[in-house]
Structure 1
């Protein structure tokens, strides 16, 4: 029973505290309201709360209405200016985006051309892929190497033939020299024999 009373007292105390704080907050908010400061909403709230009541109507001072109207017009003008500035910023950003898109397209095109040039090789003014270029170059190298081997073979063969021809010529020259020497000896022998016969004939006479 005592605990129930304590709980009831605590709840009532909390409700009283909340009510006092709410009233104090409302009073503070009312004190903060102003016709010349704050937002348009707070200025309207000031006019509503500070105006007099007459049955179901509110009696508002004309000066407050004119002031509120002026503040509202200023706020609308500021909002309109902000809208114009925002639209200008949006237009500028749209222009920049278009420029960036064009630059991006040009960059992509340049990149594609660069990749194509990187993947292709120019040969005699003709564009060829690297694979075809490598195949052609290695084919040319292979043909040139084959011609080199053929030239070496022909050279060695010709060199061997030349050596054989030189050797044969040397042997022929040696045979010719031997034949000429033999013929010369034979001629000398025949001349001596002829001279001997001439001498014998002179002796007989």
Structure 2
């Protein structure tokens, strides 16, 4: 009989220890579920393990205060995390707005610089006077045309003058030849006349001598 009592006592102690360990493991599992799961999973878990009762036609859920505090803390942490994410998103949006304003300002400055550059590119300074490229080209080609005309005119005049010079030189040579020929003929005539005159003088002298005898 005493042996049976000891056996029952041992069995009772073992059952109590087993139940305590199981309860502790279940409590730890519940705490892990409330710590690691998402909010939706945590609420589902609380709804699943909570007890309920009806009073006056209404249903009430009974939640363990410890679990309530844990899920409340988790909800507040999630809200704080979301608020932090929202603040960071707002800061990012503000920074992007500032960057967009800076980019728009830079774009306007670039467009203004490009317009000024194009305006300067389409104009050319001539003796300190800003002229459009088209008008400058008209002036430039007009000057080139006038200079080309003058060059051709001077070439024509030079060739014409050269031809006249050659003709005058040829005429002068012909005149010199004629003059030399005329001088030669005149010299021959003069010499002939002198010889005739000398002959007459000699003849007169001979006649005079003959008469004197």
In the superposition, the TM-score normalised over structure 2's length comes to 0.63
1:38-187 superposed matches below 5 A: 38-44=37-43, 46-47=45-46, 50-53=50-53, 55=55, 56=58, 58-116=61-119, 119-121=122-124, 123=126, 126-187=129-190
Q: Residues of 2 paired with 1:91 and 1:201: CA distance?
A: 147
Q: Which stretch of structure 1 is more off in the superposition, 95-104 or 160-169?
A: 95-104
Name the CA distance, whole Å, in 2 between partners of 1:53 and 1:135: 104
The two structures, once aligned, show a CA RMSD in angstroms of: 3.0
Deviations 1:92-137 (A, max 9, x none): 3223323432443344334434544554455556554443233223
Task: Say if 1:53 and 1:47 are closer, same or farther in 2 by CA, change over 3 A.
Answer: farther
Distance 1:52 1:126 in 2: 98
Q: How far did 1:165 drift? A: 1.4
Where does structure 1 lack aligned partners over 5 or more consecutive residues?
1-33
Q: In 1, Cα distance between the equivalents of 2:88 and 2:115? A: 40
* Partner Cα distance (2:173, 2:181) in 1: 12
Contact kept in structure 2, 1:40 and 1:71, CA below 8 Å? yes
- Unpaired runs of at least 5, structure 2: 1-32
Higher mean displacement: 188-197 or 41-50: 41-50
TM norm structure 1? 0.65
CA distance in structure 1 between the partners assigned to 2:40 and 2:73 by the alignment = 14
Secondary structure, counterpart of 1:36 in structure 2: helix
Secondary structure in structure 1 of the residue aligned to 2:35: coil
The structure having more radius of gyration, on CA atoms, is 2
Aligned residues between the structures: 172
